[in-house]
Amino acid sequence: MTHKETAGHQGVQPPSLALAEPTVNVRHRWTTSIVLVNVGINAAFFGPIQVLLGQQAADFSEADKEGILALVTGAGAAVSLVANPLFGTFSDRTTSRFGRRVPWVFIGALLGTIGLVGLAGAPTVAAMTLLWCLVQLGCNGALAATTAAIPDQVPVRQRGSIGGLASMGTVAGILVGAAIAAVVAGNFSLGFIICAVALIVGMVPYLFFSNDPVLDAKDRPAFTWPAFFTGFWISPRRYPDFAWAWITRFLVNVGNHLVTLYLLFFLTDAVGFENPEFGVLILTGIYAVLTLITAVIGGRWTDKVGKRKPFVIVSSGIIALAALILAFFPTWPGALTGAAVLGIGYGVYLAVDFALLTQVLPSAANRGKDMGVINVANSLPQVIAPIIAWPLVTILGGYVTLYVVAAVIGLLGAFFVVKIKGVD
């Protein structure tokens, strides 16, 4: 590999420019590799989360399936809270000739693959929990590295568009995961294996086409153990926009996870759909297609007008509306409508909120760590949502209560966006 190839899409660069604010638009090949790695990572996440883990939980105990699923997904999400900022910090300090981010994408995907293959033969709930934690560790590590690559290489004027395309990869991965679960027709062991293959296939183009800028050793952030541990705390007083952006993403994602966590059981127990796995695929397909369309449109639109907050506020409100539709119309037509509305709102939200977040990062030297902290706002809801959802469904009113609470939490996220001052 030549120096020019490793230096990045902007041509021959001194390694110190790995920390510079990017000014040249990224090429289509780079964008495609980002989209594909997001497809692979999210297929590995959401195939299991949407269906396969639920099927495996029911296989262990039909009576306790909700509790088993809450345990497994909650434990995995807890691991992801550590994996995101930790891998991001490691990548910030990496001086490999392949770049800062690529080695950690490879390591993360390898760990995720091992975990998925292991899940195919997990003999106990404990083994299932540990292996899902390994999947979360690896996939979140890879996600932290690829997420940081966008502010590394994409100029601000292009981040809405690239955020929309990356979100398209995310949603396509969710759809691929649901398709895998439907195609294997209840054979969750085979489903885990296919998800592992999807993760590997999605990763490979990024390894070759990432053009990850190389960090010179002299530019590597100084290391001390106290600074390492305290660095994960980003002061809301010093960086209020970062704090408000984190809070808004956290709340919207809590609401979104409350909607999707028990979707398989919602179709089974509330809607009474005869083939709930196929129903999940249909709903995910509708949601995915509309998310793909609105992510691209919303990303380009926000870049064109140069504003982020109005898009985030409106899209968050639309997501909340989708939850209310599911709450008060627990029928198959209601589920179809809710999925469509959710797709419209979530596509715009994914693209525009990501662009907003990259504009409130505290420093270029710590983009990986800071984006990892942001990604905690994606992962922590996976811990919180099962804790909230299980008693709401089983004790406090069922799915109506669950989806109303989801809508309220999402609307709070929309409200706090107005607190961000440094981005329009």
Q: At what angle do helices 332-358 and 367-394 cross, to 10 degrees?
A: 160
Structure-token pair, residue 180: 């895998």
Convert the pLDDT of each residue in 269-287 to its tens digit.
899 888 888 898 888 789 8
Least confident of 9-18, 35-44, 385-394: 9-18
CA distance 304 to 228: 39
pLDDT at position 9 = 43
CA-closest candidate to residue 251, choices 362, 150, 353: 353
Stretch 68-87: mean pLDDT: 86
pLDDT at position 170 = 81
Convert the pLDDT of each residue in 178-195 to its tens digit.
788 878 878 999 999 999
CA distances from 250 to 118, 256, 373, 424 (A): 31, 10, 11, 20
Stretch 211-236: mean pLDDT: 77
pLDDT at position 179 = 85
- Residue 62 pLDDT > 50, yes or no? yes
For residues 167 and 295, is the Cβ–Cβ distance under 8 A? yes
Report the range out of 96-100, 209-213, 304-308, 401-405 with the highest average pLDDT: 401-405
Stretch 229-245: mean pLDDT: 84
Query: At a CB cut-off of 8 Å and minimum separation 6, what does 5 contact?
Result: 211
pLDDT band for position 18 (cuts 50, 70, 90):
low
Query: At a CB cut-off of 8 Å and minimum separation 6, what does 107 contact?
Result: 138, 141, 142
Structure-token pair, residue 175: 């759809």
- Taking every pair of Cα atoms in the chain, the longest distance, rounded to a whole number of angstroms, is 62
CA distances from 79 to 125, 131, 143, 145, 299 (A): 17, 11, 14, 16, 31
CA-closest candidate to residue 202, choices 79, 292, 113, 294: 113
pLDDT band for position 15 (cuts 50, 70, 90):
very low
pLDDT at position 296 = 87
CA-closest candidate to residue 134, choices 160, 154, 113, 103: 113
Structure-token pair, residue 92: 């910030």
Which pTM was predicted?
Answer: 0.75
Q: Specify the DSSP element, H or E, that contains 420.
A: none
- Residue 320 pLDDT > 70, yes or no? yes
Q: Which residue has the tokens 């899409």?
A: 9
How many CB atoms are closer than 10 A to CB 319?
A: 27
Sign of CA dihedral 286, 288, 291, 297: negative
**What domains are there in the chain, each with its CATH number?**
22-212+234-419 (1.20.1250.20)
| DSSP string computed for 146-170 | HHHHHHHHS-GGGHHHHHHHHHHHH
CA-closest candidate to residue 413, choices 370, 378, 371: 378
pLDDT at position 372 = 81
Convert the pLDDT of each residue in 106-115 to its tens digit.
999 999 999 9
Say how many CA atoms lie within 13 Å of 294 toward its Cβ: 25
In the predicted model, what is the mean pLDDT of the chain? Answer: 86
pLDDT at position 319 = 92
pLDDT band for position 13 (cuts 50, 70, 90):
very low
Convert the pLDDT of each residue in 370-406 to its tens digit.
888 887 887 788 778 888 888 998 888 889 999 999 9
Ramachandran category for residue 306: left, alpha or beta (phi over 0 → left; psi -120 to 50 → alpha): left
